[in-house]
Amino acid sequence: MSSPGRSRLRAGLAAAAAAALVLTGCGGAEAEGKNEIVVAIVSNPQMQDAITLQDEFKAQYPDIDVSFVSLPENEARAKITASVATQGGEFDVVMISNYETPMWAENGWITNLQDYADSTEGYDPDDFVPTIREALSYEGDLYSVPFYGESSFLAYRQDLFEEAGLTMPAKPTWEDIRGFAEKLDDPENDVDGVCLRGLAGWGEVMGPLDTVINTYGGRWFDEDWNATLDSPEVEAAVTDYVNLVQTYGQAGAATSGYGDCLTLYSQGSAAMWYDATAMVSSVEDPSSSLVVGKTGYAPAPVEETESSGWLYSWSLAIPTTSEQKDAAWDFVSWMTNKEYIQLVGEEIGWERVPPGSRLSTYENPGYAEVAGAYAEPTLTAMAGASQENSMVKPVPYTGLQFVGIPEFQDLGTRVAQQISAAIAGQQTVKEALEQSQGYAETVAESYQNGGS
Amino acid sequence: MATQTAAPTPAGKETTPAASTVRKPDRRFNSAPILTTVTWVLALIFFSPVLWMVLTSFKQESAAASDPPVFFFAPTLDQYRAVLDSGAGSYFVNSAIATGVSTLLVILLAVPASYALSIRPVKKTSDVLFFFISTRMLPVVAVIMPIYVIAGQLKVLDNVWTLVVLYTSMNLPIAVWMMRSFFLEVPGEVLEAAQMDGAGLMKTLWRVLMPMVAPGLAATALICVIFAWNEFFFALILTAGQSATVPVFLMSQMTSEGLFLAQLSAASVLASLPVVIAGWVAQKQLVRGLSMGAVK
């Protein structure tokens, strides 16, 4: 008796739930008259400044309603990749890097921005730092535009160098760095000789380590896509890196990444630090750093090459799924044009300006005043950051501190885990590289068998 | 604790010899302060991370990052100001909707369901119960991609009502199981008496059962509120600019470049306040319910 009644009730509930979904689905989509855009960005300090300044954008474009999703690097990358790859369409503007841009452009996931950039008055795409502009282009056209760009260089404590009677050469080698680290390592006063990333992750330890491998003459793959992680050059590079950080580096090196080194260095607990040029905005910020004005900046240490810095850029792209491309471009161009740099300088402070995207930033007197110590080293590092200057042998992939193939996120992280274990002393460098070579060979197969 | 253990002793008249040997007044006198101390030490250990979070939220970033940690510092409200300036309001509204509506739906659905599984058991009750709880056995990470793709096709990504539906289905099994155990404790005689007095189903449920299981209902609702308020994974994957909830907001306070501990702590303190308040409100209800049970 009761079962028909119950099933009717169930059907009613299901219908109500379905109706609720349909209603809310329609309600959420559009508001009348206003263009709503959703922007996904990485929650680094300069990006958060952009959120703070959104009222300026809204004043300039009153008919565009912008909302932000800001997440730490790994979460943002996972979310943005999932959304763009499955055509989820939640975002009108996404922040990606020079790793994703050429691949996503090839897949047709992001919009060609060249015409937008050329036709926007005063936008001046030729003002972008040339190496960055090239890294964000696919077949000659820009597919994302840089918000900031970075290379890598060596920060060192001038006061400690002076005390110890040391001088940093104009172009230090890794052997020089080892010598300095030995002299400056001072466990009694809680100062490490050097801080280097050791945390497993393709964007962590592999960043600086790949540049060391490059300058030692190593590479991930040769021109025929043969994995070469077991070559003597790679082994020499990794051995020197691991020894340096084990002997004179920070405690717990195997689990420390950019953030940990930043904390150590800015609290005065490390004499040298080789990392992203973007560090300056935190190292030279009096509200979070104890070593403001005490730091000198030297080019990335080299071995066999002219230069050795990496090249990275956080840039803005418009997914092809966006239904508000024009409004999205209005926002993208606002956040990446020259006036924005001026706006940040005046409203928030010149030391917070997103560096490394535009050449004009470095001609700006306001920026020159605060950035005297690091403007020139940053620009030089970025100008030199190309495969021609930083690698000994030719490679079949794009990228300096990464291999520009989709598999690299996984491969890089697996290799990083092996390296991290070597830094922790759980295995030798040789064992780590043998294992890594196996991973790289598996990936290489699909490219050797008539791949791209 | 001490009063509860003392209460049964007068009743244990038959065991006088054993009781007299146990009841050495000096020994009991000694154990109480030790027990109190241990309890306090344990409570402090459990509470210390929370305390540290509250302390850190009043620091400047450099003090929060300093090693060794600083215990004495000039407190500042800068971090709270920064959190409130970063537009926390809409996240709290979304969380309130997702938590409030889903908890209400869960209670509305779980009460009749658990009634049907306890007081008027349907056929194969244990199968139904297992079926309910089985939905909790699959790891969320295993179903997130299908859910994401389906939500994308239904155009309900970044929609707070999607979270309401998911949180309701996520909490429903737990609520059914909890409410069922509370209903089972209601003595059958009470229901028979209600029937004898001519009360119908709705009246029995509303006037007789509800007051008796109110503490259980409060506990269930509290659990649902806590789970829904703190839920992170669905919220992270399925929301974007419009419907992100407080846990996602906390995540956005973190950064891979620069110091963030102090500001994150301030945001975490603000995020845990509603749950603390909800727990405090429910606590009164829970305590009253417990004492009612003791008299019975």
**Would you tell me the crossing angle of helices A429-448 and A232-248 to the nearest 10 degrees?**
140
For the stretch B258-268, pLDDT in tens is 678 899 999 99
Chain B residue numbers with beta carbons less than 8 Å from the beta carbon of A72 are 251-252, 254-256
- Whose CA is closest to B176, among B88, B108, B82, B264? B108
A12 touches chain B (CB under 8 A): no
DSSP state of B86: T
Q: Phi, psi at residue A100, to the nearest 5°? A: -75, -40
The yes-or-no verdict on residue B16 having pLDDT over 70 is: no
DSSP state of A97: E
For the stretch B219-255, pLDDT in tens is 899 999 999 999 999 999 999 888 999 999 998 888 7
d(CA A445, CA A433): 18
Chain A residue numbers with beta carbons less than 8 Å from the beta carbon of B242 are 28, 38, 67
The yes-or-no verdict on residue B17 having pLDDT over 90 is: no
Residue in the block written with tokens 């007051």: B211
Same domain, yes or no: A317 and A437: no
Whether A325 is in a domain gets the answer yes
Q: In what order do the strands lie in the sheet with A93-97?
A: A64-71, A35-42, A93-97, A312-317, A145-150
**The last residue of a domain, from among A379, A403, A432:** A379
Close Cβ partners of A396 (under 8 Å, ≥ 6 residues apart): A221, A222, A223, A224, A225, A447
H runs (alpha helix) in A222-353: 232-248, 258-266, 280-283, 325-336, 338-347
For range B59-64, the mean pLDDT:
84
Whether A255 is in a domain gets the answer yes
B94 touches chain A (CB under 8 A): no
How many residue pairs bridge chain A and chain B with CB atoms within 8 Å of each other? 125
> What's the confidence (pLDDT) of residue A450?
61
- Asked whether the beta carbons of A191 and A273 are under 8 A apart, the reply is no
Chain A residue numbers with beta carbons less than 8 Å from the beta carbon of B67 are 263, 267, 269
Chain B residue numbers with beta carbons less than 8 Å from the beta carbon of A25 are 154-156, 159
For the stretch A258-284, pLDDT in tens is 888 998 999 999 999 999 998 887 888
Same domain, yes or no: A305 and A410: yes
The SS3 call for residue A142 is strand
Q: Out of A20, A71, A88, whose CB is closest to B251?
A: A71
Which helix H or strand E contains B276, and what residues bound it? helix B261-295
Contacts 24+ apart (CB under 8 A), B32-37: B32/B2, B35/B1, B35/B2
> What's the confidence (pLDDT) of residue A6?
46
Same domain, yes or no: A13 and A133: yes
Whether A1 is in a domain gets the answer no
- How far is residue B174 from each of residues B104, B232, B289, measured CA to CA in Å? 14, 18, 20
Q: Which among B94, B115, B251, B259 is the top mutation candidate for probing chain A, defined by the most A β-carbons within 10 Å of its own β-carbon?
A: B259
For range B262-280, the mean pLDDT:
92
> What's the confidence (pLDDT) of residue B288?
59
The SS3 call for residue B288 is helix
Amino acid at A309: G
Give the count of domains, chain A: 2
> What's the confidence (pLDDT) of residue A32?
52
pLDDT band with cut points at 50, 70 and 90 for residue B287: low
Interchain CB distance below 8 Å, B258 and A44: yes
Same domain, yes or no: A204 and A98: no
d(CA A205, CA B75): 36
Close Cβ partners of A104 (under 8 Å, ≥ 6 residues apart): A84, A96, A110, A143, A317
> What's the confidence (pLDDT) of residue B5?
41
The yes-or-no verdict on residue B29 having pLDDT over 80 is: no
Signed CA dihedral, B37, B42, B44, B45: sign only: positive
Range of the domain at A323: 6-149+312-379
Please give the angle made by the CA atoms of A149, A155 and A156, to the nearest 5 degrees. Answer: 170
A79 touches chain B (CB under 8 A): yes
Point out which residues pair with A93 in neighbouring strands: A39
Q: Which residue numbers in chain A have pLDDT < 70?
A: 1-33, 450-452
Close Cβ partners of A80 (under 8 Å, ≥ 6 residues apart): A40, A91, A94, A95, A96
Chain A residue numbers with beta carbons less than 8 Å from the beta carbon of B87 are 51
d(CA B293, CA B178): 17
Residue in the block written with tokens 């630090």: A273
d(CA A420, CA A255): 8
Same domain, yes or no: A389 and A437: yes
> What's the confidence (pLDDT) of residue A29?
41
Same domain, yes or no: A369 and A253: no
**The last residue of a domain, from among A379, A403, A430:** A379
> What's the confidence (pLDDT) of residue A415?
96
Same domain, yes or no: A317 and A403: no
DSSP string for residues in B27-48? HHHHHHHHHHHHHHHHHHHHHH
- Asked whether the beta carbons of B164 and B105 are under 8 A apart, the reply is yes
B66 touches chain A (CB under 8 A): yes
> Which A positions 252-291 lie with beta carbon below 8 A of chain B?
257-259, 262-263, 266-267, 269, 276, 278-279, 281-282, 287-290
Please tell me which residue, B20 or A131, carries the higher pLDDT value. A131
Whether A428 is in a domain gets the answer yes
Output the six-digit token pair for B238. 């399925």
Q: In what order do the strands lie in the sheet with A152-157?
A: A272-276, A152-157, A295-299
Q: Residues B50-65, buried b or exposed e (16+ Cβ, 10 A)?
A: eeebebbbbbbbbbbb
> What's the confidence (pLDDT) of residue B289?
53
A87 touches chain B (CB under 8 A): yes
Chain B residue numbers with beta carbons less than 8 Å from the beta carbon of A90 are 157-158, 240-241
Whether A122 is in a domain gets the answer yes
Q: Out of B149, B157, B258, whose CB is closest to A90?
A: B157
- Whose CA is closest to A120, among A367, A440, A337? A337
Close Cβ partners of B113 (under 8 Å, ≥ 6 residues apart): B172, B176, B179
| Cβ atoms within 10 Å of A415's Cβ, excluding its own | 27
> What's the confidence (pLDDT) of residue A109?
96
Chain B residue numbers with beta carbons less than 8 Å from the beta carbon of A79 are 236-237
Same domain, yes or no: A390 and A265: yes
Same domain, yes or no: A285 and A433: yes
B149 touches chain A (CB under 8 A): yes
For range B158-163, the mean pLDDT:
94
Q: Which among A26, A48, A64, A292 is the top mutation candidate for probing chain B, defined by the most B β-carbons within 10 Å of its own β-carbon?
A: A48
Which helix H or strand E contains A310, and what residues bound it? none
Same domain, yes or no: A194 and A63: no
Same domain, yes or no: A231 and A290: yes
For range B133-142, the mean pLDDT:
87
Same domain, yes or no: A44 and A137: yes
Task: Report the percent of chain B where pLDDT is more than 90.
Answer: 38
Chain A residue numbers with beta carbons less than 8 Å from the beta carbon of B258 are 44-45, 259, 262, 281-282, 288
Q: Phi, psi at residue A147, to the nearest 5°? A: -90, -45
- Whose CA is closest to A306, among A189, A388, A364? A388
**The last residue of a domain, from among A379, A411, A427:** A379
> Which A positions 55-74 lie with beta carbon below 8 A of chain B?
67-74
Tell me the CATH number at A357. Answer: 3.40.190.10
The pTM of this model reads: 0.79
d(CA A327, CA A285): 34
The answer to which of A87-101, A229-243, B18-32, B160-174 has the lowest mean pLDDT is B18-32
Kindly report whether the peptide bond that precedes residue A169 is cis, defined as omega within 30 degrees of 0. Answer: no
